[in-house]
Structure 1
Amino acid sequence: MTDERGIPRREFLKSAVAIGGTAAFSACLGREGVDVPIGPDNFSSYPQRQHAWNEALPRDDHGNVVAPNHRVLLYLNYRREGQPNGDDRDQVETALRGIEHAYERSGDGLLLTVSYSPAYFDRFDESLPEGVDLTDPEALAPFEDPDLDTPDAVVHLASNTAQVVLGAEEALKGNKSTLNGVEQPDATLTDVFAVADRRTGFVGDGLPAENADDAKGVPADKVSENAPLFMGFKSGFKKNQASEDRVTIQSGPFTGATTQHISKLQLNLNQWYNQDDRWQREAKMFCPYHAENDVIEGAGDNLGTSSKIDDCRPTDETAREMGVVGHSQKSARARDDDDSPLILRRDFDSTDDGAASLHFLALQRRITDFVDTREAMNGTDITEQSAVGQRNNNGILQYIRTERRGNFLVPPRSLRSLPPAQPAGDAQEVTHESS
């Protein structure tokens, strides 16, 4: 849809989210033409698990969760030295509840999480409980040298409605006294935190193609009009994702929490589309069997609830006989004893800094689960017994460059506002004065 200004509506909305600010928010109000219901006065029905988004999101025809289109990541540093105090905790919680009052918790409304880094927890005398596996970020392959993100916290805002993520962000910064007709509290997030970085992005059918012109290195007219991601294929199949239960910490003072890894991956789309043909892209994203047997139609909607990796031949056999292995084929080897994937992906594309990239956001019970999944993706064992290279013909490794990595803990809702390292009692029982 193009309006009288000649700019496609969805392209404008994505650009507005990337730019941010009150002017972009006001512009979205005039372009989206949607009414988002306000949130409740009482949040007792909200799940303790901040990351429990799936029930609030729509499904496609196959039952796969449809990810929110628009995203903002706010990287934050606590303004005080030492341990947080009660006043700051109450201020953060009050600010968060302000935007939750303004927008309902849904795909078209607002979904959010607040997470904390190992650097944040280093300020406490006590260590995190033994059951919380939150390690410092590090390079996870011999060929990468990423910058390591160590802010104190990250707020993840998500919605199908651009004005929602922009409005929520501006209210948290104290730039909106009224949001969606709801008066906002005087308390602001930025009174307690300084914004260290802001990252944005999008995911959804057609959005990458509509925004390809915003990024250098994206071949003209090569990204499918139906693809939800820059590399042309869908992801997030139900059977290839860990469940929210699987990624949730099950015991201890952080019961209901999860860990989160966020990496920024630069994409080499010129090589992906211009050097490789469709057969190679299918073989490297999924597996050679899929390419040989025309398993995938378009972006892969026909695959249903899984990428059908079980149909592929064993990875080591494929590597020896074909000289190429698929990304999904390798990654699927990282499963638990119940044959469940270890991570729940909520990643999205971006044109931040004028380049095509992917913010790879993964949730898992332990950071070790992500490390194990990445090890499977690296395929080092495969390279040692075949002609597959360290990166060449090794899934999609030659087309991505890891620029940044960060690890975080997403505490339960009752501990989301400046949590201590060792909460007293069960997480379910913790309350705030602002409740």
Structure 2
Amino acid sequence: MDRSDRGLSRRGFVKSAVAVGGAAGLAACLQREEAEDVPQAVRSPDELPTRQHAWNEFLATDDHGNDVPPRHHLLLALEYVGDGPADVADERDQLEAAFRTLERAYKRGNEGLAFTVGYGPAYFDRFEADLEGVELPAPEPLTELEDPTLDEYDALLHLASDYGHVTLSAEEALKGELEELNGLEVEGTFEGIFEVAERRTGFIGRGLPAEKQSGVAGIPDGEPVPEDAPMFMGFKSGFRRTQASEDRVTIDEGPFAGGTTIHLSKLHLHLQQWYDQDSREQRVAKMFSPAHADEGVVEGAGHNLGDSSRVAEVAGAADEAARRQGTVGHAQKTARAREDGEPIVLRRDFDSTDDDRASLHFLSLQRSIDDFVTTRTAMTGGDLTEGSVGRRTNNGILQYLTVVNRANYLVPPRERRSLPEPTATSE
């Protein structure tokens, strides 16, 4: 897909419209994106993978084989409207019809729509039976330095597309506000089942952060975010060789085999020092590793690195970097959380200007929430904070982030995604 004709001013407008949402936001998006022909599905829903999170084969790729995430993202936090367990067959049929409408209306992937629905501990607490085959703990603070709001929503719907009007149209259809979706009749909605308790929006991709940086809290004046940066901190992420495979993050046994788990954090970014005081070399050292800075490995936002950030090569030197250089890299620390040399989480995070402040919605997929905790512990680097590296200062990018929310969700396989019961035998 050729994206060269997408003017930055239009991209910024569409991002703002997605954040506004509702009929007004959708109308604004359609006005700006009316020339875009969004294809309907090329496969029937029955032909799609059983794994909801199987996006990669449908995503665009860059010249290095890295998956290119959709540019616009919408997170809908959902509350079940019933008092007790969700155990009405008609509700399941209605909800499944809604999801299958989305799958028929849009081709899966960047140029259409990708989505997943997950369920939180609060949803499964409605049932007498315990959740079978999966540990889904309630979210909790992961360091003594954070005090986040711990989300207790029943469910989370993640919608993603290169086109803002697609995510908004899907939202409006699910809420019962549209009769047709991309030329197809809407056959199911959330009405009487879910209410949208909170919506969060975001974006990722070259040019979008630079376009949206002006006047945003957390980013200094002067528009310092580079034009080629896909994220506010100025560097590329999501290299193919630093991401877990979809196979690695898939639950492989039990009634939820073929599913995965989501950890979702909302982080506020504080980039005044990052851009106004830290040098380019310091930013590279803190984001990747001191060796990356010393050797001049990273050009611009890091697109030159190909399919790997090369942090696995220096992960074992994290302790030495902390002791001798007084700085350790974020990616360098995180790369220590691997099994047989491979990452254990798959990141699908994106930036945001919700509430007019620079934020990051950190969304990761993993076989178990324990895998995320292991990775976050490595990123925190508590074992490296003795000596010259402070608990937060020069310890990767910790000092530039505040954790605002945390949440955990179970993403069932597609055949169980509509109001799942906690055990195989209870259905």
Summarize the alignment of residues 215-364 of structure 1 with structure 2, pairs less than 5 Å apart. 215-219=216-220, 220-312=222-314, 314-336=317-339, 338-364=340-366
Instruction: Confirm or deny: 8 A CA contact 2:263 2:407 kept in the other structure.
Output: yes
- Matched residue SS, 2:93: helix
1:202 corresponds in structure 2 to 203
Q: How many Å separate the matches in 1 of 2:8 and 2:299?
A: 30
1:378 corresponds in structure 2 to 380
- Matched residue SS, 1:310: coil
Q: How many Å separate the matches in 2 of 1:88 and 1:160?
A: 31
2:409 corresponds in structure 1 to 408
For residues 237 and 7 of structure 1, do their structure 2 counterparts lie closer, same or farther at Cα, with a shift above 3 Å needed? closer
Instruction: Confirm or deny: 8 A CA contact 1:14 1:70 kept in the other structure.
Output: yes
2:94 corresponds in structure 1 to 91
Instruction: Confirm or deny: 8 A CA contact 1:214 1:351 kept in the other structure.
Output: no
Q: How many Å separate the matches in 2 of 1:81 and 1:162?
A: 34
Q: How many Å separate the matches in 2 of 1:335 and 1:311?
A: 13
Summarize the alignment of residues 184-203 of structure 1 with structure 2, pairs less than 5 Å apart. 184-185=186-187, 187-203=188-204
| Aligned-pair CA distance for 1:382 | 0.5
Q: How many Å separate the matches in 1 of 2:229 and 2:238?
A: 13
For residues 221 and 41 of structure 1, do their structure 2 counterparts lie closer, same or farther at Cα, with a shift above 3 Å needed? closer
Structure 2 residues not aligned, in runs of 5+:
none
Cα shift readout 1:347-391 (whole Å, capped 9, x = no counterpart)? 00000011000000000000000000000011110113x311110
| Aligned-pair CA distance for 1:29 | 1.9
Cα shift readout 1:92-129 (whole Å, capped 9, x = no counterpart)? 11111122221111211010000000111011111111
Q: How many Å separate the matches in 2 of 1:95 and 1:308?
A: 43
Instruction: Confirm or deny: 8 A CA contact 2:214 2:223 kept in the other structure.
Output: no
Q: How many Å separate the matches in 2 of 1:146 and 1:109?
A: 34
Q: How many Å separate the matches in 2 of 1:400 and 1:47?
A: 36
Paired residue type of 1:376: A
Instruction: Confirm or deny: 8 A CA contact 1:216 1:356 kept in the other structure.
Output: yes
Instruction: Confirm or deny: 8 A CA contact 2:8 2:207 kept in the other structure.
Output: no
Q: How many Å separate the matches in 2 of 1:41 and 1:203?
A: 27
Q: How many Å separate the matches in 2 of 1:291 and 1:133?
A: 40
Match of 2:123 among 120, 125, 130: 120
| Aligned-pair CA distance for 1:40 | 5.4
The normalised TM-score by structure 2 is: 0.95
Paired residue type of 1:216: A
Q: How many Å separate the matches in 2 of 1:295 and 1:252?
A: 44
For residues 318 and 12 of structure 1, do their structure 2 counterparts lie closer, same or farther at Cα, with a shift above 3 Å needed? same
Work out the number of aligned pairs and report it: 419
Of stretches 41-50 and 163-172 in structure 1, the one that deviates more from structure 2 is 41-50
2:13 corresponds in structure 1 to 12
For residues 424 and 234 of structure 1, do their structure 2 counterparts lie closer, same or farther at Cα, with a shift above 3 Å needed? same
Instruction: Confirm or deny: 8 A CA contact 1:289 1:311 kept in the other structure.
Output: no
Q: How many Å separate the matches in 2 of 1:106 and 1:58?
A: 8
- RMSD over equivalenced CA pairs, Å: 1.7
1:54 aligns with 2:62: no
- Matched residue SS, 1:98: helix
Q: How many Å separate the matches in 1 of 2:217 and 2:45?
A: 44
| Aligned-pair CA distance for 1:39 | 2.1
Q: How many Å separate the matches in 2 of 1:364 and 1:57?
A: 19
For residues 283 and 91 of structure 1, do their structure 2 counterparts lie closer, same or farther at Cα, with a shift above 3 Å needed? same
Of stretches 70-79 and 102-111 in structure 1, the one that deviates more from structure 2 is 102-111
For residues 362 and 7 of structure 1, do their structure 2 counterparts lie closer, same or farther at Cα, with a shift above 3 Å needed? closer
- Matched residue SS, 1:75: strand
1:172 corresponds in structure 2 to 174
Q: How many Å separate the matches in 2 of 1:357 and 1:30?
A: 27
The normalised TM-score by structure 1 is: 0.94
Paired residue type of 1:110: L
Paired residue type of 1:181: G
2:74 corresponds in structure 1 to 72
Q: How many Å separate the matches in 2 of 1:73 and 1:424?
A: 31
Q: How many Å separate the matches in 1 of 2:366 and 2:264?
A: 12
1:433 corresponds in structure 2 to none
Q: How many Å separate the matches in 1 of 2:194 and 2:80?
A: 5
Cα shift readout 1:183-239 (whole Å, capped 9, x = no counterpart)? 112x31142111110000000011000011252232222000010000000000011
Q: How many Å separate the matches in 1 of 2:390 and 2:52?
A: 40
